[in-house]
Amino acid sequence: MTKINQHILTCGGTGCRASESKILAARLKEELKDSEISQNVKVVESGCFGFCEKGPIVKILPDNTFYTQVKPKDAKEIVEEHILKGRKVERLLFRDPNTNELIDESKSMGFYKKQIRIATRNCGFIDPENIGEYVAREGYEALGKALFELEPADIIKTVKDSGMRGRGGGGFPTGFKWELTAKSESDKKYVVCNADEGDPGAFMDRSILEGDPHSVLEAMAICGFAVGADEGLIYIRAEYPLAIERLKIAIKQAEDVGVIGDDILGSGFNFNISLKYGAGAFVCGEETALIHSMEGLRGEPTLKPPFPAERGFFDKPTNVNNVETFANIPAIINKGAEWYASVGTEKSKGTKVFALAGKINNVGLIEVPMGTTLREVIFDIGGGIKDGKKFKAVQTGGPSGGCLTEKHLDTPIDFDNLLAIGSMMGSGGMVVLDEDDCMVSMAKFYLEFTVEESCGKCAPCRIGNKRLLETLEKITNGNGTMDDLDLLRIQGGVIKDTSLCGLGQTSPNPILSTLDNFWDEYVEHVEENKCRAGQCKSMLKYVIIEDECVGCTACARVCPTGAITGNKKEVHFITQDLCIKCGACMDKCNFESIELIA
């Protein structure tokens, strides 16, 4: 009897692997080996389930049982109890943080209820290292259809009609890009997949490549056929080792069965795909900089036009699309433009994958239709703010985006709405902030990132952002004036208007949007020298409560800068100029006689 009647899916994404999911999968196989029904159960390492907060995830099918935070040592219990006896292991089930209810199957989890998975349709469902499972899920059907039943122009029309817009951040209509590349005349053209995901906190591209690499390969070949290219390049950062490994396996398998390579499916169409590694520079997500980096030059952007679609990689027409964009393409070809266009809003069709991070209960990867509101994403899917704290803001679009507040929560998310309220879609990072976060510090964090990542080619970005950061530092150090706040706006505006590429044109956004939405907090920093979240160290003050101090000298002995003076059995005193706010005195004091004033 070798019929398989149960599947155990374990998450094989980077996040869960870091929590020993690979060892867990091996342990599960080990435990099963000795049991009488080993022939009937299959253990599959799949891609990311999205629910990274509670990883490693184990899902048992067909009953859809969803186990969270499973450790290798739990393997024995899962096999003995669930697999052999059909009893769910209650302690590993997910407990809803708000209702405290145990939820035994993924379908009833708030996290999954509002999601529609198109780009991530196979993530957490198939084994990414087995092309057979991808083929069984309509894999390479779209490519077959494109090669045998459609003309290149039909494909471009379908993509155009679907309303698909580039998921890398800018939201440029994908079909138009393909059309531009198709129209460029040349003996050689390229299709490039931009897998240089660089926004802090965004990991959707990585998860797609790790969980469903074939969907990207298939889409690149479809694109190649549509625009007349015979070579595909995937520009991926070397710091994504697992994604690279799975891509290599996928390319090898696809070549072996003949869906990538020469004479695909006997159609006479050739398309070869290879990998190019990037060193992880943020600016290389910009398509011209990316192309220069691939050519072996410095990763610096150049002025557009000419667009890569006209003159790109080695001056040949090049079509650059993002990973998530590609992952949608096979579904669009299979199900049609109309189907895709039925999901989403007027001008933004389909779904978007977001990486939820920050002070939120369900950190993870989600895919929702365009037009879902921020409230639904944060409170229904994300499960609300951690530890019952108050929602303060959500940062979207990474270093190019802005901060949105309570009053924006009911805005339907799409490309245009986010731009209108001073943020942007970006690649889909969403960092949720609570009352303990200082907005000035947050803006400073993102600016530090852009200053670090600026390529230095144009002055507004290289020098301007540095000056902007200095002004911000002045404010967080407690030396700011009201004039500095005006200066931030002026500097920000100039950088936006005069920078060469998208990096500089968007880098002041975190500051400008926080100035708009959290003006009071900036004023407090400047006028009252106060940081309400208690994050700006220089505005904190450690003082000794005179009535409580017994003069034990413990604090004076532990102070690294000798800022605390006082004789034995007498009240001590902290010299503020010398204090570096390390807090060592407060930790050491046994009489709770040191307090922190924000």
Partner 1 sequence: MSKIKSLSDLRKLREELKSSLELRENAESADAVVQVKIGMATSGIASGAREIFNFFAEELPKRRIKAIVTQTGDMGYKYAEPLVMITIPGKDSVVFGEVDIKKADEIIEKYIKEGELVNGVVPKSYQTI
Is 315 a binding residue for partner 1 by CB under 8 A? The answer is no
Strand runs (DSSP E) across 49-208, as ranges?
58-61, 65-67, 94-95, 102-103, 190-195
- Helices and strands per DSSP (H, E), number in the chain: 26, 19
- Token readout for 515 is 């100035």
Question: Which residue number, 28 or 355, has a Cβ lying nearer to partner 1?
Answer: 28
Q: What is the C-alpha radius of gyration for the chain, rounded to an integer number of angstroms?
A: 27
* Of positions 4, 305, 547, 562, contacts partner 1 by CB under 8 A: 4
* In the complex, minimum distance from the CB of residue 273 to partner 1, in angstroms, rounded to a whole number: 17
Is 126 a binding residue for partner 1 by CB under 8 A? The answer is yes
Is 265 a binding residue for partner 1 by CB under 8 A? The answer is yes
Is 1 a binding residue for partner 1 by CB under 8 A? The answer is yes
Identify whether the C-beta of residue 396 lies closer than 8 Å to the C-beta of residue 423: yes
Question: Which residue number, 137 or 386, has a Cβ lying nearer to partner 1?
Answer: 137
Is 131 a binding residue for partner 1 by CB under 8 A? The answer is yes
* Of positions 5, 561, 567, 575, contacts partner 1 by CB under 8 A: 5
Where does this chain touch partner 1 (CB under 8 A) — which range of 6-14, 151-159, 183-191, 586-594? 6-14
Identify whether the C-beta of residue 55 lies closer than 8 Å to the C-beta of residue 92: no
- With CB under 8 A, what is the number of residues at the site for partner 1? 40
Is 63 a binding residue for partner 1 by CB under 8 A? The answer is yes
* In the complex, minimum distance from the CB of residue 367 to partner 1, in angstroms, rounded to a whole number: 15
* Of positions 259, 309, 472, 564, contacts partner 1 by CB under 8 A: 259
Q: Calculate the alpha carbon distances from 251 to 115, 159, 327 in Å.
A: 30, 24, 15
Question: Which residue number, 134 or 542, has a Cβ lying nearer to partner 1?
Answer: 134
Question: Which residue number, 145 or 188, has a Cβ lying nearer to partner 1?
Answer: 145
Question: Which residue number, 41 or 440, has a Cβ lying nearer to partner 1?
Answer: 41
**Angle made by CA atoms 23, 25, 31, in degrees to the nearest 5:** 100
Question: How far apart are alpha carbons 513 and 529 in whole angstroms?
Answer: 21
* In the complex, minimum distance from the CB of residue 145 to partner 1, in angstroms, rounded to a whole number: 8
Question: How far apart are alpha carbons 394 and 429 in whole angstroms?
Answer: 10
Alpha helices, H only, 150-212:
152-162, 174-183, 204-211
Is 113 a binding residue for partner 1 by CB under 8 A? The answer is no
Identify whether the C-beta of residue 425 lies closer than 8 Å to the C-beta of residue 431: no
Question: Which residue number, 6 or 342, has a Cβ lying nearer to partner 1?
Answer: 6
Question: Which residue number, 256 or 470, has a Cβ lying nearer to partner 1?
Answer: 256
Alpha helices, H only, 86-173:
110-113, 131-136, 141-149, 152-162
* Of positions 241, 258, 388, 456, contacts partner 1 by CB under 8 A: 258
* In the complex, minimum distance from the CB of residue 304 to partner 1, in angstroms, rounded to a whole number: 38
Residue type, 415: F
Question: Which residue number, 62 or 560, has a Cβ lying nearer to partner 1?
Answer: 62
* In the complex, minimum distance from the CB of residue 493 to partner 1, in angstroms, rounded to a whole number: 50
Question: How far apart are alpha carbons 224 and 230 in whole angstroms?
Answer: 6
Is 306 a binding residue for partner 1 by CB under 8 A? The answer is no
Question: Which residue number, 38 or 498, has a Cβ lying nearer to partner 1?
Answer: 38
Where does this chain touch partner 1 (CB under 8 A) — which range of 62-70, 294-302, 370-378, 479-487? 62-70
- Token readout for 268 is 């006479």
Residues 207-236 as x/- pattern, contact with partner 1 by CB under 8 A: ------------------------------
Question: Residue-wise over 76-102: b if at least 16 C-beta within 10 A, else e?
Answer: eebbeebbeeeebbeebbbebbeeeee
Question: How far apart are alpha carbons 31 and 395 in whole angstroms?
Answer: 44
* Of positions 132, 388, 456, 493, contacts partner 1 by CB under 8 A: 132
| Residue found by looking up tokens 């056929």 in the block | 225
383 Rama sector, left if φ>0, alpha if ψ -120 to 50, beta otherwise: left
Question: Which residue number, 96 or 161, has a Cβ lying nearer to partner 1?
Answer: 96
| Residue found by looking up tokens 């003159």 in the block | 311
* Of positions 73, 91, 98, 136, contacts partner 1 by CB under 8 A: 136
Footprint of partner 1 on 396-435 (CB under 8 A)? none
Question: Which residue number, 138 or 295, has a Cβ lying nearer to partner 1?
Answer: 138
Question: Which residue number, 105 or 295, has a Cβ lying nearer to partner 1?
Answer: 105
Q: What does the DSSP assignment read for 449-473?
A: HHHHH--S-SHIIIIIHHHHHHHHH
Footprint of partner 1 on 89-108 (CB under 8 A)? 107
| Residue found by looking up tokens 């993530």 in the block | 123
Question: Cis (ω within 30 of 0) for the bond into 213?
Answer: no
Q: In 3D, which of 50, 14, 47 has the Cα closest to residue 356?
A: 50
Question: How far apart are alpha carbons 188 and 455 in whole angstroms?
Answer: 30
Where does this chain touch partner 1 (CB under 8 A) — which range of 21-29, 135-143, 457-465, 547-555? 135-143
Question: Which residue number, 147 or 555, has a Cβ lying nearer to partner 1?
Answer: 147
**Angle made by CA atoms 94, 99, 102, in degrees to the nearest 5:** 30
Footprint of partner 1 on 139-158 (CB under 8 A)? 139-141, 144-145, 147-148
Q: Which helix (H) or strand (E) holds 45?
A: strand 41-46
Identify whether the C-beta of residue 485 lies closer than 8 Å to the C-beta of residue 499: no
Where does this chain touch partner 1 (CB under 8 A) — which range of 80-88, 192-200, 285-293, 513-521? 80-88
Per the DSSP assignment, residues forming a β-bridge with 65 are 60, 105
* In the complex, minimum distance from the CB of residue 3 to partner 1, in angstroms, rounded to a whole number: 5
* In the complex, minimum distance from the CB of residue 470 to partner 1, in angstroms, rounded to a whole number: 54
Question: Which residue number, 120 or 395, has a Cβ lying nearer to partner 1?
Answer: 120
* Of positions 20, 77, 80, 138, contacts partner 1 by CB under 8 A: 138
Question: How far apart are alpha carbons 574 and 552 in whole angstroms?
Answer: 14
CA dihedral sign of residues 227, 144, 126, 33: negative
The contact set with partner 1 (CB under 8 A) reads 1, 3-7, 9, 37, 40, 61-64, 85-87, 107, 125-126, 131-133, 135-141, 144-145, 147-148, 253, 256-259, 265-266
